[in-house]
Amino acid sequence: MSFLDDIFTTLDRSAGRSVLSEIHESSTVEVDGHQLRNLIQQARRYIRQAGVSDGRRCVLIGANSIHWVAMDLAIIAEGGIVVPLYDRMSPEDQVAIMHDCEPALVVCGDDDVRQAMRDSWPGAPPTCILAEVFDQSKATENWQDPPQIPGDRTVAIIYTSGTSGVSKGVMLTCANLDFMLGRTVGRFDQLLADVRDRQRFFHYLPFCFAGSWFLLLSSLIRGNALYLSTDLQNIRNELGRAQPHFFMNVPTFLERIKRGVENAVDERGGFGKKLLSRSKTSWANRRAGKRSFGDSLWLALANQFIFRAVRDGISKELRAIVCGSAPLAEETQQFFEMMGIKVLQVYGLTETTAICTMDLEDDIRPGWVGHAIDGVEMRLGDNDEVQVRGPNVFAGYWNRKDETNAAFDGEWFRTGDQGVVSPNGNWKITGRIKDLIILNSGHNIAPEPLEAALLDAIPGATHAVLVGNSKSFLGLLLFGSIDEAAVPKALEAYNETQTQYKKVHAFHICENALEWIDGMLTANGKLRRSAIAEHFQNEINKMYERKAS
């Protein structure tokens, strides 16, 4: 029995019960288990005719949709290897990946995507769009059971987002997915044990990313109702219609909610502004073990007049939020905790089948990413590098034997992340080894936790990027709607909390938002530091020259 057998078994039991829903502006399109089975069978017939089998690759480019899911499962069921690509990636980058994986078929979400790909690659392999696959005149209910899949068979090649700018194809096997899905599906049951009616999940993260795909597969196995966002600009309304018990996030989204609440309260001023400020102090006192009637009163008032509205604005049925892809700032996690919203962190990479750790409900520590999943071993190597061993570790990089070998220390996968672990096994990620800033004094600095603190300290900042390799001190690039006059005071307060070599002594406010400049961020919103340093080299040089003069 494989994960695919488990999914098909759940779908067979789900006649008349919605398993997937697309939320559109004025309607919701949904399918039950039997309808999804029909779609999978249609897709299997199409790709069989296209010759996608026996380990041949099929690229799937498109936004999240019911048809995307059916095609994804059909490729695996027919013995092919699914290669999901981000539909917002440039056609040139998509083509570079396709040259690497050499697909037998390319399936596009719509004709615009197909045409852009063909323009960039005149000699492209056979292509189709999802609408051509799911022609209603060819609908069938002649279902086929999934084949027996050997554990060592590669079922997906997922290309990493590439903070270095170079994407590598991570080969995930059936055994990887069987192991990790078997370990984590039960965690959702525990997490949502108090939900008596059928559980509802909401999802907006693209399925081409390992963590997002993993949530999809676990939802299909569990048979909960999964609502798919179709418009990131309309997420608030979509959440209101779905009223989910659970949804997965990246830190950027939660930080935007936090800033939105703070800015709205600040703009109104008056008692609300004072109430939020006093509540933060009261919450800090409570976390420090100091309890008083005054603190309880401030928090109760804030819950009545601020926090309840925020919770209801997300979902009145919300039980928990899981956050992954990057460490969530401790201040942000505490902010949601203060509002009565449970945020659980997970940590993992595409190479570890999306997950290595997950918060335990009775041991949530803001800023930390939880305990290792049962059966996954973790240790600290040289330079405090987090290393992982277990059945969740990938089979290797597609067509990159040397890079595969370099990624391992014996049996241990080298994550490239720096971390610490508590005596009871709780992990914290402190930075990326390749991202270390090395001052000319020899001090090594992990920038991520400092940047998170700076974002929290500087109003209006959407990105804070520390620089300073081979320099005598740290400099700071700032992005967002920032009052320049307020920055020195914010930096002064920040510097008071830091050791000498971690203090920031120069800054520059950039004109454009970082996400508007091509190539500065990965698809997951992570900083491409080398690209940023190259693009803003003149600004960085001038910043240090001004400080020296």
Q: Which two tokens stand for residue 270?
A: 């008056």
Going by the DSSP 8-state scheme, the letter that residue 13 receives in this structure is T
Return d(Cα 237, Cα 313) in angstroms, integer. 9
Alpha-carbon separation of residue 493 from 426, 490, 499 (angstroms):
30, 5, 13
Give which of 468, 450, 484, 441 is closest to 543, Cα–Cα.
468
In 330-446, alpha helices (H): 330-338, 401-406
| pLDDT at residue 324 tops 60 | yes
Domains defined along the chain, listed by start: 3-245 (3.40.50.12780), 251-314+319-433 (3.40.50.12780), 436-548 (3.30.300.30)
- What average pLDDT does the chain have? 90
Return d(Cα 46, Cα 80) in angstroms, integer. 13
Q: What is the pLDDT of residues 339-398, one digit of tens each?
A: 999 999 999 999 999 999 998 878 888 889 999 999 999 999 998 999 999 999 999 999
Q: Nearest 10 degrees: CA dihedral of 489, 495, 496, 500?
A: -150
Give which of 467, 485, 484 is closest to 476, Cα–Cα.
467
Count of alpha carbons within 13 angstroms of residue 96, beta-carbon side? 12
Q: What is the pLDDT of residues 485-531, one digit of tens each?
A: 999 999 999 999 888 889 999 999 998 788 777 778 877 678 888 88
- CA dihedral sign, ordered 130, 136, 138, 139: positive
pLDDT of residue 163: 47
Range scoring the smallest mean pLDDT among 200-204, 240-244, 515-519: 515-519
Tell me how far the alpha carbon of residue 167 is from its chain's centroid. Answer: 17
| Helices and strands, number each (H, E), in the chain | 19, 26
